[in-house]
Amino acid sequence: MRTSALAALALVSAIALPVSAQESLSRAVTAIDQKVQPQSLRDLSKRLMPAVVNISTQQTIAPNGLPTFPEGSPMERFNEFFGRDEDGFQRQGSLGSGFVISPDGIIITNNHVIDNADEIEVNFSDGRVLEATLVGRDRDTDLAVLKVDSRTPLPFVDLADSDHAEVGDWVIAIGNPFGFGGSVSAGIISARNRDLNSGRSDDFIQTDAAINRGNSGGPLFNLGGEVVGVNTAIISPTGGSVGIGFSVPSNLVKRISSQLIAHGKVRRSWLGVNVQDADEALVKAYKATGKGGVIITRITDDGPAAKASLEVGDLILSFDGQRIESVREMTRLISEAAIGKTVPLAIIRNGKPRTISVTLGELQDEDPAAAANALPDLPASSNDLGAELSSLDDDIRRRFGIPKDVDGVVVTSVSARGRSFGKLSRGDVIIEVNFAKVSTVTDTVAKVETAMKTPKQPLLLRVKRRGDAGWFDQFISVQLSK
C-alpha cells in the first residue's frame, strides 16, 4: 500500500498539479504511511516496561554419588568446577520473562520457565526483587501463574481479545532475551492457529518479532498496549531468532489463568473416547457428506461416551451444533465446554445419521497416543485389496501377538503397488468390510469383490491394530477405482 501511494504521488507530481492539490495528496500519503508503520514505539515501550518482569529460578539437585572434596584439599577447586557446594549439592538456575496482570501481584509466565524450581524471584524494572510463590501451572498450554506480595500496588497490563488479532497487525515483544533484561523487539503477526503438536490446546500466534531464549513467558503486545499473546516457543536451527516465534493467544491465557487462580489447576471436560481424522474419502465411505469429521476408535469404560451408548466406529460430524472437521478441532471444543454440560453429537452409524446426547465428565488422566506400524515394501498381492491375508490360528496369533478375543483376518503383507498400500499394516486384523463382520479369508475377499462392482464408492475397513497402549480400532478407506 505504501509503495503504491508513493508511486501515485510521483505520477501526479509529474503532470504538475497545483500546489494545493500536491500538498493535499502529500498529506494523504503521509497518513497512509503512518497507518502501515508506526513512527515510534518509544512512548508505548516506556508505558509497558514496568509491568514486564524478569524471572530467575534456582533448583537444588541432590548429590549424584560423586565425592565431595574437603576444604583445604588440593582437589577442593573441583567442587566449584562441578557446581557443587560443600555438601555435594548442585544448584541450577534459569532465566525467563513474565508480566503482571493485576495490581496485587498476579504474574503470568511459561511453565517451562519455573518447572522444578525451588526458588522463584521476580525482578522489576525499577530494581525491586520479590520472591514469588507458584499459584498453579498447566503443562498442556505451558502456562503458569505466580504471586508476589508488594506493599504498594504494582503496574499491570491488560489481556486483549486475541480473536481480533489478525495477520499483518503490528506487535512488540518485551522480555529478558539471553539474560539482558528489558529488551523490546517489534514485528507483525505472521500467522494464526499454528499447531506445533505440543499439546491438545495448540493454537499459537506466529510472529516475526524477535523472540530468543529468555523471552519465554514474556508478553506480545498489540499497539494498544494490551497483551495479545505469551511468547512460548521458536523454531530455529541456531538457537536464536530467525523470525519464527510462537505465542499462546491471550483468550486462551485468560481461560487457563482464571482456572489456575481459582482452583490451582485446570479442569477440562472429557468425552472418554479416542478418535481419528476422517478425510473426504472416509466420510464418503460412511455415506455422509462433507470434507471432514472424526471416527471413534476407542471408548473408555464407564466414561461419558460409554454411558451415552456411543460406539467404536461412529463418525462424529458435529459437537454441540458446531461442525467437526478434525481431531484438533474436536479436542478444542471439548476442552472449552463446561464440565457436566449435556451436548448433542451428530453421528453416522452403519451409514445412517442419528443424534446422541452426551453429558461431559472431567478429564483426569491422559490416554497415551497409539502409533501405527510401518508398512513393508513387498511384491504385488493376488487379490483386489492388494494385501496377503491369513486366517487366525494359534501359530498366527503367537507370531503377531494377537489376543484370543480378537477375531477376523490378519494382514501378513501389503503390496507396494496394491490399493491398500499406505492404509493397511502388516499385523492388522480386518474385522469388518463395509460394516459387515468377516472371519475368513474367503469371506473377506468375496466382500471386496462385491465392492469392486461399485468402484467409485470407497471401501471401508475396520481393523484391530496394535499400538503402544495395546490393541485399538482403526477405520480405513480404500479407493477401489484406479
**Which residues are designated catalytic?**
112, 142, 216
Computed on alpha carbons and rounded to an integer, the radius of gyration of the chain in Å comes to: 30
3-state SS of the chain: helix, strand, coil percent to 5?
A: 20, 35, 45
Q: Are 120 and 83 in contact (CB under 8 A)?
A: no
The three three-digit cell numbers of residue 282, written as one number: 472416509
407 is in an annotated binding site: no
391 is in an annotated binding site: no
- Distance in angstroms (rounded) separating the CA atoms of residues 350 and 288: 11
Distances (CA, A) of 45 to 67, 249, 376: 50, 21, 58
- Distance in angstroms (rounded) separating the CA atoms of residues 38 and 15: 31
Q: Are 358 and 310 in contact (CB under 8 A)?
A: yes
CA angle centred on 351, ends 349 and 355, rounded to 5°: 40
Q: What is the DSSP letter of 88?
A: S
214 is in an annotated binding site: yes
216 is in an annotated binding site: yes
Closest CA to 443 of 454, 431, 453, 452: 431
Closest CA to 142 of 193, 173, 108: 108
Task: Please write down the HEC assignment for all residues of 307-333.
Answer: HCCCCCCCEEEEECCEECCCHHHHHHH
Beta-strand pair 429-433/52-61: unpaired
CA angle centred on 212, ends 210 and 217, rounded to 5°: 100
Q: What is the DSSP letter of 182?
A: S
105 is in an annotated binding site: no
Q: Residues annotated in the binding site for substrate, as ranges?
A: 112, 142, 214-216
Q: Residues annotated in the binding site, as ranges?
A: 112, 142, 214-216
